Amino acid sequence: MSGKWGILAPAALIALLVAAWWGTVAASGSPIIPTPWQVTLGLGELARQGVLLQHVMASLYRVGVGYLLAVALAVPLGLVMGRVSGVFAAVNPVIQLLRPISPIAWIPLAILWFGVGNMSPIFLIFLASFFPMVVYSAAGVHTIERQYIRASQNFGVTGLKLLRLVILPGALPQIIVGMRISIGVAWLVVVAAEMIALSAGLGFLIMDSRNAGNRYDLVVAGMVLIGVIGLLLDAFMRRLERLKVVQWRYAR
């Protein structure tokens, strides 16, 4: 029953929001704000033109590259920071200094360094993903109870073996939380970065539709796609919480 409720409740809420959207547009009589049906027709138009998949894949490519680069660097650094107090003392102030700076604020420098191609949004996505993962990875190591590490060391488990068998599994739930937060922030950043001098992507679609004839049906269609893909990415990351190696941390 709970599984059915978990599907029906959000579906009903979404239907209610769509109905409210449709009713508001109809009541206002605005010729600019599109109805849900007009947005659906706009999505169909993009699909027929063959550009819908192009925009989606361009955004996913940039997110994928920047995000995976962040995982490759942030998780090992966070584990080292959590394990070695000297590294934490040296690196953490720099992390905390740079972390509050919005990735959007880096856009002018990204364009200056990398131009207006794919590298600029990839760099911004990397920044957006890197800092949450470093913080959560280090915090995950700090949450491991010291007696587990001492007991492992008493049995001769040290070095990389200790990292693989004790520290990484113990920190993994927190690492996954950081990864989940990072993917959401990365998806926000790529849309903003694509609004500047690119030729494909959902951010570009929104700005191009706004500038080329005030196609607000396509603007809202791009927004809907962003929301749906963001929901799917979050659902994928939540599935990682069901892995056997991290289920010990979660009550459900």
Which string of DSSP letters, residue by residue, matches 71-118?
Answer: HHHHHHHHHHHHH-HHHHHHHHHHHHHHTTS-GGGGHHHHHHHHTTST
Q: Are residues 132 and 93 in the same domain?
A: yes
- Tell me: do 22 and 140 sit in the same domain: no
Within this chain, do residues 112 and 191 fall inside the same structural domain, yes or no? yes
Q: Same structural domain for residues 81 and 50?
A: yes
The secondary structure of 170-206 as a DSSP string is HHHHHHHHHHHHHHHHHHHHHHHHTTTT-SSSHHHHH
Instruction: Write out pLDDT tens, residues 224-246.
Output: 898 899 889 888 888 877 777 66
Look at the chain and report how many structural domains it folds into. 2
In terms of domains, do 150 and 165 share one? yes
Do 57 and 121 belong to one domain? Answer: yes
Q: Does 58 lie in the same domain as 90? A: yes
Boundaries of domain holding 12: 1-31
Confidence of residue 127 (pLDDT cuts 50, 70, 90): very high
Q: Give per-residue pLDDT as tens, 161-206.
A: 777 777 788 888 889 889 999 998 988 888 888 877 677 888 888 8
- In a 10 Å sphere around its CB, with 0-12 CB exposed, 13-18 middle and 19+ buried, how is residue 138 labelled? buried
Summarised one tens digit per residue, pLDDT across range 59-92 is 999 999 999 999 999 999 999 998 888 999 999 9
Q: Residue 1: pLDDT above 60? A: no
